[in-house]
């Protein structure tokens, strides 16, 4: 039995929950981290010396780093679906995972923490405005790429959609007046049609408002 550790409110855990449900894999889930605690135990340190979630156990295998977990699950349980069989097609899915990790995420997470998770009086408005401009440029790049495409790596959902797709709900719902590029919004609507996305990603997150501790 697969076991996932990590609080459901974590962006990185949500990527894995979404992936598991897309793949209809059976799993057990334990909320850890944030108000649930449990990351400072000796037992957890043996699973992940970084003391961060998510962590996935599949039999004897222990994996941490959310994108590594998403790739593992797709490779084992999603061949020809989330994990394209053709290496060239797969490289495009992979490319968007890397792009999200290295470009979109630093800007999006920076803005989410700088605006949404920081109490109003402590916010650095200039820094947040800069991060918002950076996000808008990156979502505009996604918008160009999505012209004539249903998903980031082609006509169907792949691992390439998971990291960037997981940002959409919080980005558009955190209360900022951000640009809404049409192709990105159409992609977001397509993701919203998926039960696995709605159940795990499109989840109210107001408990995180103005809360700087995990």
Ligand X SMILES: N[C@@H](CCC(=O)N[C@@H](CS)C(=O)NCC(=O)O)C(=O)O
Among 12, 19, 128, 158, contact with ligand X (rule: CB under 6 A): 12
Shortest Å, Cβ 182 to ligand X: 30
Per CB under 6 A, the segment of 33-41, 114-122, 130-138, 147-155 that binds ligand X is 33-41
Task: Examine residue 65 and tell whether it contacts ligand X (CB under 6 A).
Answer: yes
Task: Examine residue 52 and tell whether it contacts ligand X (CB under 6 A).
Answer: yes
Return the number of the residue (103 or 179) whose C-beta is nearest ligand X: 103
What letter does residue 101 receive in the DSSP assignment? I
Sign of CA dihedral 88, 197, 112, 148: positive
Sign of CA dihedral 66, 69, 73, 79: positive
Cis peptide bond N-terminal to 54, omega within 30? yes
For 94, the 3-state DSSP assignment is: helix
Among 4, 23, 47, 53, contact with ligand X (rule: CB under 6 A): 53
Among 4, 17, 31, 66, contact with ligand X (rule: CB under 6 A): 66
Query: What is the spatial distance between Cα 66 and Cα 58, in angstroms, rounded to a whole number?
Result: 14
What letter does residue 112 receive in the DSSP assignment? I
- Contact set with ligand X (CB under 6 A): 7, 10-12, 33-34, 39, 52-54, 65-66, 214
């Amino acid at each position: 039995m697969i076991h996932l550790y990590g609080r459901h409110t974590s962006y990185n855990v949500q990527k894995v929950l979404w992936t598991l449900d897309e793949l209809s894999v059976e799993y057990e889930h334990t909320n850890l981290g944030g108000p649930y605690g449990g990351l400072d135990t000796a037992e957890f340190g043996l699973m992940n010396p970084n003391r961060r979630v998510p962590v996935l156990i599949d039999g004897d295998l222990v994996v941490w780093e959310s994108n590594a977990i998403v790739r593992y699950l797709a490779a084992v349980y999603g061949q020809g679906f989330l994990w394209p069989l053709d290496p060239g097609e797969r490289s495009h899915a992979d490319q968007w995972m890397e792009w999200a990790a290295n470009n979109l995420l630093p800007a999006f997470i920076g803005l989410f923490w700088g605006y949404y998770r920081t109490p109003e009086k402590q916010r650095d408005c200039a820094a947040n405005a800069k991060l918002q401009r950076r996000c808008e440029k990156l979502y505009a790049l996604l918008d160009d790429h999505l012209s004539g495409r249903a998903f980031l790596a082609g006509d169907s959902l792949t691992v390439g959609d998971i990291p960037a797709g997981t940002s959409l709900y919080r980005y558009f719902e955190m209360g900022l007046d951000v640009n809404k590029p049409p192709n990105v919004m159409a992609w977001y609507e397509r993701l919203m049609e998926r039960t696995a996305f709605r159940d795990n990603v499109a989840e109210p997150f107001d408990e995180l408002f103005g809360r700087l501790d995990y």
